[in-house]
Structure 1
């Protein structure tokens, strides 16, 4: 599926599309969740929430 289609479906509330986007961006979210060489699970969860909010607000 094309990224744009996936994004549009996620914006429309499709949970499967949200899941696929999270899988796509998981490496970046994990990388940004490491603070001083230690993985911060709370930060990872917050980044996931922010990511999903951004997907909803993103204008195409």
Structure 2
């Protein structure tokens, strides 16, 4: 499945599509969740929610 199909699937609540996108971006989300050398789990969760919200707003 290509990225466009994943985005469309996630927008339509297809099983696993959003989870696959989150897995693709997990390294970046984890990297951005480190503040002053300390992993912030709350920030990670918030970034995941922001990513999912952006997917819902994404126009394809």
Q: Residue in 1 aligned with 2:31?
A: 31
TM-score normalized by structure 2?
A: 0.95
- 1:43 deviates by 0.3
**Segments of 4+ in structure 1 off by > 2 A?**
none
- 1:15 deviates by 3.6
* 1:16 pairs with 2:10: no
State the distance in 1 between where 2:47 and 2:14 align: 20
SS in 2 for 1:8: helix
Residue-pair matches, total = 60
State the distance in 1 between where 2:49 and 2:40 align: 15
Measured against aligned partners, the alpha-carbon deviations of 1:19-42 in whole angstroms (never above 9, x if no partner) come to: 000000000000000000100000
* Structure 2 residue ranges without an equivalent (≥5): none
